[in-house]
């Protein structure tokens, strides 16, 4: 009758294992972020895009596929006309799934420079330079952020993340006990550090830069991660009402995690399916944004199943030992 | 049962209304999808205006709106953002550099007279007559066939101009445009009637130069200089490409999720899929009614919300399956599935709405679009995943026994072999459990 103790995953029993696994997942990213903070000129843990530093990005659609050699030539040409330190990148457009006969843009060349103001002729000069090297390049996108604007956007993003943390913490403390809220917050931190770490590594390896959309992705991941955690905690709360006399706290945590396991995995799966569709078939401009969410949601599911529930159990254990031998443990 | 049938027809009505709205109303697409420019203009303080007041911003916005209208493009937007910025949206602009220069030009027209500074050097000093005293200006030619800019003063301006010319007979008066001297004729006699001309000095005006000045003067000078601090321009080809790709990604995403739901949850999964389609219809109709301007990030928010919308159903179905395994009858299992899952659904959606609110309040316009579509999605999904699915489940399964557990993806021997939650009397009453 009572199959509550037959489990697929054991959160409580292998507590140390999950702690180690989390550490393994987070450490490389943390190392990359520290390394980046030390070596980058602006001491940011990740490569930051023009949204935060200020600058201009020009994107040209080209009919031909370009190689890294073409890019080197372009860079030299641009430096010749006085563009300081242009940063060039190729974005490949996959036209396999769609007929794109009208425009036939096969690759996009992206040029990042310092901020180009309205009185400057730099855009025209750059277009002319490209015109000499490639067949009818088309200026398809211009993004420009002034230096003061960049600082302000950065400040706003930090405020947004801070407020989201606070808002969720307040909401959770009202709906649950404070320990649960704290565990959920640590879970968020766990997920955010993981995603930032991966992007820090990607920044070092592939020059991936974070922008305003990245912060949006992080905030969405925060929402999701808490979402998952709440479902597990909600179940723990419910089971505590019915079984607190028959089972230990650890057993209840394990049971709750297992009862919600199918749900946790299925929900993440459906969300990952839609995100996967966006990643593979959606626009080039939102790729990094979607990638951040995919990573965040995957790690969010892991953390809500293993990390947060383990924390709740861990604290409960501490409380128990404190209750049974209060003076001695506190003195140590 | 009667209530459920009424509810069913209410849902049908909502679906019909939504479908009609979708067909009748146009979709508002963002500039990153149709192509166009988004510019952020920041008012700059000057020596004379040290603080940007709301009044200054009002005048700046008015002048910029006039200029944007002069560009002759439909559906432009000029909107104040924060204390000293204006957001300008111009779809399909052909010559962006030209447009940018046109918008940023201060266009200060000033009339100056000769004077001396304290060291005795000859300088031009202000007369107090400026572009603000004009009623209109137009393009014309003078006797020699040169292009000139004709000025007409308003009543106050005409009086000032008459007094000024009277006092300056025999002296030079210079006309400055944006700090540059245009011409400095010698006043022969007092000029009444409030009309004047600017000739291009010795070299004369080019046609384009004179036309530009006329346009700027008619649009009004900016009270303070303004600088472009942020720009985002998307060409129409990239926009069209993004729409195509987003559509494809949306269809693939929706399709894959629907298949997954049927494969895993069987008949309830199919019901959830129908609810999901209704969800998409309602949400789209809402986007068009409000209207929400759809951007690339907004569409990403919408597609993401599809994944979240089925979450509520997954929670409910998992719970219903558990209740069935515990040997409950169908009606009770469905009811308690919905009831027990509700707190989880509500709590988790609240946190998403909290983050969306923060994003909406603090984010840039791209982020705002994402937050808005995601928040609307979450709210609509509460209705579709709970009310619609529950209604369909009850109508289809009725109150009888579960004859075919396979419909729920369960096997016969699983039933009645799981744990059993012991409810209090109140809960039993709520879930409709009979002992």
Domain locations in chain B as residue ranges? 2-31+235-431, 36-232
Structure tokens at A41: 């000129």
**If you measure CA to CA, which chain B residue comes closest to A272?**
B307
- Assess A244–B contact: CB distance below 8 Å, yes or no: no
Among A112-126, A263-277, B392-406, B418-432, which stretch is predicted with the lowest mean pLDDT?
Answer: B418-432
From A145, A163, A184, the end of a domain falls on: A145
Burial class of B92 by CB neighbour count within 10 A (0 to 12, 13 to 18, 19+): middle
* DSSP-assigned letters across all residues of A4-60: GG--S--TTTTHHHHHHHHHHHHHHHHHHHHHHHHHSTT--SS-B-HHHH-EEEEEE
Q: How confident is the model at residue B430 (pLDDT cuts 50, 70, 90)?
A: low
Residue in A160, A175, A226 nearest the CB of B363:
A160
Note whether A270 contacts B249, CB cutoff 8 Å.
no
Is there a domain that residue A1 lies in?
A: no
Chain mean pLDDT for chain A: 82
DSSP secondary structure code for residue B187 in this structure: P
**Interchain CB distance below 8 Å, A263 and B354:** no
pLDDT at B23 (0 to 100)? 92
Domains of chain A: total: 2
Q: Is the domain of A102 the same as that of A230?
A: no
Handedness of CA B216, B219, B220, B222 (dihedral sign): negative
Q: How far is A332 from chain B (nearest CA, A)?
A: 39
Residue A30 scores a pLDDT above 90: yes
CATH number of the domain residue A117 falls in: 3.30.70.3220
> Does residue A155 lie within any of the structural domains?
yes
Are A24 and A156 contained in the same domain?
A: yes
In a domain, A329, yes or no: no
Q: pLDDT per residue over A196-230, tens digit each?
A: 999 999 999 988 888 878 888 888 888 778 878 88
Residues 6+ apart with CB under 8 A from B428: B435
A179 and A123 in a common domain: no
What's the CA angle centered on B363, arms B81 and B67, to 5 degrees? 30
Q: What is the pLDDT of residue B47?
A: 76
- Say which of A105, A143, A286 has its CB closest to residue B296: A286
Query: Across the interface, do B348 and A290 touch by the CB < 8 Å criterion?
Result: no
What's the token pair of residue B201?
């000095």
Tell me which of A102, A121, A145 is where a domain ends.
A145
Phi, psi (deg, nearest 5) at residue B326: -75, 0
- Give the residue numbers spanning the domain of A91: 55-145
For the stretch B138-153, pLDDT in tens is 888 887 778 888 888 8
Report CB contact under 8 Å: A223, B307: no
Residue B385: its H or E element: none
Q: Is residue A157 part of a domain?
A: yes
What pLDDT digit, counting tens, does each position of B29-78 carry?
A: 888 888 888 888 888 887 777 888 888 888 888 888 888 887 777 778 88
A69 in the same domain as A134: yes
- Please indicate if any CB of chain B lies within 8 Å of the CB of A212: yes
Give the pLDDT score at B259: 93
Residue finishing a domain among A145, A172, A193: A145
What is the separation of C-alpha A154 from the centre of its chain, rounded to a whole number of angstroms? 16
- Residues A158, A35, single domain; the answer is yes
User: If you classify domain B36-232 with CATH, what class do you get?
Assistant: alpha beta
The topology under which CATH files domain B2-31+235-431 is Multidrug efflux transporter AcrB transmembrane fold (1.20.1640)
| Residue B419 contacts residue A2 (beta carbons within 8 Å) | yes
Tens of pLDDT along A80-116?
Answer: 888 877 888 887 665 544 444 455 677 888 888 888 8
Residue A116 lies inside a defined structural domain of this protein: yes
Residues 284-323 of A with CB under 8 A from B: 285-286, 289-290, 293
Measure CA B310 to chain center.
28
Q: Which pair of tokens denotes residue A37?
A: 């903070």
Structure-model confidence comparison of residues A85 and A332, the more confident one: A85
pTM over 0.95: no
* Whether residues A21 and A132 fall in one domain: no
What are the two backbone dihedrals, phi and then psi, of residue B174, each rounded to the nearest 5 degrees? -105, 145
Nearest to B132 by CA among B217, B19, B15: B217
The per-residue pLDDT of chain B, averaged, comes to 81
Whether B344 and A286 lie within 8 Å, measured CB to CB: no
Rounded Cα–Cα distance for residues B186 and B197 (Å): 13
Q: Is the dihedral of CA A253, A254, A257, A258 positive or negative?
A: negative
Q: Are residues A209 and A271 in the same domain?
A: yes
Q: Which chain A residues contact residue B96 at CB under 8 A?
A: 142
Cβ separation of A168 and B354 shorter than 8 Å? Answer: yes
Residue A328 lies in a domain: no
Q: How would you class A220 by CB atoms within 10 Å of its CB: exposed for 0-12, middle for 13-18, buried for 19 or more?
A: buried
Of all residues in chain A, the one with the smallest CA distance to B38 is A143
Verify that A78 and A136 share a domain, yes or no: yes
Of A2, A123, A230, the CB nearest to B351: A230
Mutation for B interface: A105, A219, A251, A265, most B CBs within 10 A: A219
| Closest residue of chain B to A5, computed from CA coordinates | B419
Q: Is A273 part of a structural domain of the chain? A: yes
Which pLDDT score is estimated for A331?
39
Q: What is the DSSP string of B16-56?
A: HHHHHHHHHSPP-B-HHHH-EEEEEEEE---SS--S--HHH
Q: Is residue B354 scored above 60 in pLDDT?
A: yes
Could you tell me which of A237, A230, A252, A249 has the C-alpha nearest to residue A185? A230
List pLDDT tens digits, range A151-188. Answer: 888 888 888 888 888 888 888 888 888 888 888 889 98
Based on the fold, state whether residues A38 and A159 are members of the same structural domain.
Answer: yes
Q: Which of A212, A242, A266 has the CB atom closest to B264's CB atom? A: A266
Interface confidence, given as ipTM, is 0.79
What band does B256 get if pLDDT is binned at 50, 70 and 90? Answer: very high
Q: Which of A106, A218, A220 to mutate to test the interface with B (most CBs of B within 10 A)?
A: A220
pLDDT at B14: 93
Q: How close is the nearest chain B Cα to the Cα of A38, in Å?
A: 29
- Are A167 and B354 in contact by the 8 Å Cβ rule? The answer is yes
Does one domain contain both A220 and A75?
A: no
Nearest chain B alpha carbon to A216: B367
- What local confidence, expressed as pLDDT, does residue A330 receive? 40
- Domain presence at residue A26: yes
- pLDDT at residue A4 greater than cutoff 70: no
Is residue A75 exposed (0-12), middle (13-18) or buried (19+ Cβ within 10 Å)? middle
Dihedral angle over CA of B422, B428, B434, B435, nearest 10: 30
Q: What percent of chain B has pLDDT over 90?
A: 10
* Cβ contact A143–B248 (<8 Å): no
Nearest-angstrom CA–CA distance, B15 and B279: 9
The dihedral region occupied by A136, where left means phi > 0, alpha psi between -120 and 50, and beta the remainder, is: left
Say whether B237 and A242 touch across the interface (CB within 8 A).
Answer: no
Neighbours of A207 (CB within 10 A): 10
Pick the residue of B375, B419, B422, B427 with the most A CBs within 10 A to test the interface with A by mutation.
B419
Please report which residue ranges of B48-133 form alpha helices under DSSP H.
Answer: 54-70, 96-104
Structure-token pair, residue B324:
């069935």
Phi-psi region of B295 (alpha: psi -120 to 50; beta: other; left: phi over 0): beta
Whether A260 and A117 map to the same domain: the answer is: no
- Provide the pLDDT for residue B1: 67
- Closest A-chain CA to B259: A270
Asked if the Cβ–Cβ distance from A274 to B420 is below 8 Å, we say no
Average pLDDT of span A283-296: 86
Both A207 and A308 in one domain: the answer is: yes
- Listed by number, the residues of chain A in 7-46 with a beta carbon closer than 8 Å to a beta carbon of chain B are none
């Amino acid at each position: 009758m009572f199959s509550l103790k037959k489990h697929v995953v054991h959160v409580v029993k292998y507590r140390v294992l999950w702690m180690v696994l989390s550490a393994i997942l987070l450490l490389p990213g943390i190392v990359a972020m520290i390394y980046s903070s030390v070596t980058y000129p602006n001491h940011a843990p990740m490569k930051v895009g023009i949204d935060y530093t200020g600058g201009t990005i020009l994107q040209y659609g080209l009919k031909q596929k370009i190689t890294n050699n073409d890019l080197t030539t372009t860079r030299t040409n641009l430096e010749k006309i006085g563009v300081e330190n242009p940063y060039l990148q190729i974005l490949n457009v996959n036209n396999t799934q769609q007929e794109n006969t009208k425009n036939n843009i096969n690759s996009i060349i992206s040029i990042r420079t310092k901020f180009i103001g309205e009185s400057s002729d730099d855009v025209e000069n750059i277009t002319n330079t490209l015109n000499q090297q490639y067949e009818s390049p088309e200026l398809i996108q211009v993004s420009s952020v002034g230096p003061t604007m960049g600082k302000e956007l950065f400040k706003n993003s930090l405020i947004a993340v801070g407020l989201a943390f606070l808002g969720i913490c307040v909401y959770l403390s009202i709906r649950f006990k404070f320990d649960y809220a704290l565990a959920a917050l640590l879970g968020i931190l766990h997920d955010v550090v993981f995603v930032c770490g991966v992007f820090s590594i990607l920044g070092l390896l592939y020059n991936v830069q974070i922008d305003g959309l990245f912060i949006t992705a992080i905030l969405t991941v925060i929402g999701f991660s808490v979402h998952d955690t709440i479902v597990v905690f909600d179940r723990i709360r419910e089971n505590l009402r019915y079984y607190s006399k028959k089972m230990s706290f650890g057993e209840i945590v394990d049971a709750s995690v297992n009862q919600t396991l199918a749900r946790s995995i299925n929900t993440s799966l459906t969300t990952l399916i839609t995100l996967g569709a966006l990643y593979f078939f959606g626009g080039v401009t939102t790729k990094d944004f979607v990638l951040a969410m995919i990573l965040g949601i995957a790690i969010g599911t892991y953390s809500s199943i293993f990390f947060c529930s383990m924390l709740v159990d861990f604290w409960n254990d501490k409380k128990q030992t404190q209750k049974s031998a209060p003076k001695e443990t506190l003195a140590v | 049962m009667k209530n459920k049938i009424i509810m069913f027809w209410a849902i049908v009505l909502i679906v019909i209304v939504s479908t009609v709205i979708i067909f009748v109303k146009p979709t508002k697409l963002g500039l990153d999808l149709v192509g166009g420019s988004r510019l952020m203009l920041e008012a700059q303080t000057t020596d004379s205006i040290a603080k940007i007041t709301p009044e200054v911003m009002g005048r700046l916005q008015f002048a910029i709106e006039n200029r944007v209208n002069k560009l002759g493009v439909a559906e432009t937007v000029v909107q104040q953002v924060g204390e000293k910025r204006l957001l300008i949206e111009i779809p399909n602009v052909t010559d962006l550099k030209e447009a940018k220069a046109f918008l940023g030009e201060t266009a200060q027209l000033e009339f100056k007279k000769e004077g001396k500074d304290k060291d005795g050097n000859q300088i031009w000093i202000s007369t107090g007559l400026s572009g603000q005293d004009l009623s209109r200006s137009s393009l014309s030619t003078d006797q020699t066939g040169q292009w000139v800019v004709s000025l007409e003063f308003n009543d106050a301006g005409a009086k000032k101009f008459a007094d000024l010319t009277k006092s300056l007979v025999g002296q030079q008066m210079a006309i400055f445009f944006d700090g540059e001297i245009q011409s400095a004729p010698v006043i022969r006699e007092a000029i009444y009637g409030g009309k004047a001309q600017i000739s291009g000095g010795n070299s004369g005006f080019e046609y384009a130069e004179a036309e530009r000045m006329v346009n700027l003067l008619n649009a009004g000078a900016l009270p303070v200089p303004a600088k472009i601090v942020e720009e985002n321009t998307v060409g129409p080809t990239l926009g069209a490409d993004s729409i195509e790709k987003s559509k494809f990604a949306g269809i693939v995403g929706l399709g894959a999720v629907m298949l997954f739901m049927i494969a895993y949850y069987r008949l309830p999964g199919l019901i959830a899929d129908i609810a999901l389609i209704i969800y998409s219809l309602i949400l789209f109709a809402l986007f068009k009614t409000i209207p929400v301007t759809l951007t690339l990030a907004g569409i990403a928010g919408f597609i993401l919300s599809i994944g979240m919308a089925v979450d509520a159903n997954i929670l409910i179905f998992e719970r219903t399956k558990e209740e069935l395994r515990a040997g409950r009858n169908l009606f009770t299992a469905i009811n308690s599935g919905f009831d027990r899952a509700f707190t989880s659904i509500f709590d988790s959606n609240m946190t998403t709405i909290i983050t969306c609110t923060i994003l909406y309040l603090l984010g840039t316009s791209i982020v705002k679009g994402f937050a808005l579509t995601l928040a609307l999605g979450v709210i609509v999904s509460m209705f579709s995943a709970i009310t619609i699915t529950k209604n369909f489940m009850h109508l289809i399964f009725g109150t009888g026994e579960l004859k075919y557990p396979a419909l729920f993806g369960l096997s016969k021997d699983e039933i009645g072999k799981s744990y059993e939650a012991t409810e209090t009397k109140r809960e039993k009453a709520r879930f409709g459990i009979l002992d």
